Structures are given as structure tokens and as C-alpha cells.
Amino acid sequence: MEESRRVLHGIKHDYDRLRHALDGMAQRVKEAMHEALQALRRFDAIGASQIIHDDPDINALQQDIEDLTARFISRWQPLLRDLRRVLTLLMVAGELERIGDYAKQIALQVRRAREAGYTPLLTTDLQELGALTEHILTASIAAFLSEDATTARAIATLDDQVDARRRAILEAVRQMALNDAALFDAALASLEITRALERVADRATNIAERTVYLATAAHESLNA
């Protein structure tokens, strides 16, 4: 009995440590995304450069989670329920790392545009899309950390709104570039930023799917 209690305590301790590491990574990714959108709004090359500089820190956090996960599995050889939980955390860390990459891509476009002397087209529309995307990211992380499947499922509707806004921006940018070849670089920057924002929303929706799986052990596709 004492040995069983010790094992259960050890599993909980190591899982809590893994969860704490993921929480820290999630907060850092949210900050990177927020800062990227602030750099876009302010057309701030210095702020954008800081995001680019800090991206390896997010990668290192993911690697820490990978190491913790490997040690957890090796040490405890968890049964299905606990194995599902730690592997889901690992997969969410992968989604967060990619979201950090997209924040860096937005920052790269802002810095490049600032240095070259052009402004991305439709910046107001991009900022609105960014605000919606940031909301989805925040909601998906909160749902995952609280294992809230109901909130996670609702994120799919928000992702549909992102897709609709993305299509409208792409069409508007295309028409503007066709009408004025001098806008090519500005149009390309807008397209790259739009694509990055769409992918952030997709990755956040993937996190929502992982939340449903974590809470219910059922696979549901929210990212149709």
C-alpha cells in the first residue's frame, strides 16, 4: 500500500511539473503573438526584431517538455489514461511551437516592410483578423488548461470567421495589386501576414481538438 501511494504521488508530481512547463510555454507564445500584433499595429521594426530574437527561447521550452515527457514515460511506464494525458501535452507543445514560428513570421514581414519603406496593404483589416486570431489562441489555451471540452468545441465557429476574413483580405489585396504593380511588395507582405494569422488560428483549433480528446478520450474534428 505504501509503495502504491508513493508511485501515485510521484506520477502526480511529475505530471504537475510537465503541466507547469506547458503553461509557461503557452504564456510565452501568447506574449509573442501579442507582441507581433503590436509591432504590426505600430509598424515597429525594433519590436519585431525582439520577437525574432526571442523565438529560440520558445523552441527551447518545447525541447524541455519533450525531455520531461520522455523521462515521465521512462520512469512511470504509465497506463492508458496517464499516457494519453502526457502525450496530449506533448502534442500541444508542438502546436504552440509552430504558433511561435508564425508570430516570428509576422514580425519578419513588419521589419522587412519597415526597412524597405513600404506598408503592408489593408493594415486595419489585418489588425482585426489578428485580434480575432489572438482571441482564439487565448481561448484554446484556457480551454486546454481547464480541460473544458465545451469551450473547445465553440472555437470551431471562431475559426470559420477567420477563414471568411482571410478570403476577403486575399481577394481585396489581389485586386489592389492587379490595379497597381507598384504595390507588389506591400501586397506580398499582407498575404504572408494573412497566411500566418490563418495558420495560428488553425493551430489553436488543433489545441481545441486535443482538449476534447483529453477531456473525453474521443477524437472530434473541429478544423474542417
Q: What is the DSSP string of 45-62?
A: HHHHHHHHHHHHHHHHHH
Q: Which of 107, 137, 157 is nearest to 207 (CA)?
A: 137
Distance CA 150, CA 202 (A): 18
| CA distance linking residue 116 with residue 98, whole number of Å | 27
* Alpha helices (H) along the chain: 2-42, 45-76, 80-116, 123-146, 149-179, 184-216
Total residues found in the chain within this entry:
224
User: Which CATH entry fits the domain spanning 2-216: 1.20.58.220, 1.10.357.140, 3.60.10.10, 2.40.170.20?
Assistant: 1.20.58.220
Can you read off the three cell numbers belonging to residue 69? 515527457
pLDDT surpassing 90 at residue 57: yes
pLDDT at 10: 83
The half-sphere exposure of 200 on its side-chain side, counting CA atoms within 13 A, is 35
Average pLDDT, the chain: 93
Pull the grid cell for residue 86: 502526457
Average pLDDT rounded to a whole number, residues 27-53: 97
Rounded CA gap, 19 and 92, in Å? 11
Flag whether the pTM goes above 0.85. yes
Residue 219's pLDDT is 85
**Which grid cell sits at 154?**
465553440
Q: Is residue 1 scored above 70 in pLDDT?
A: no
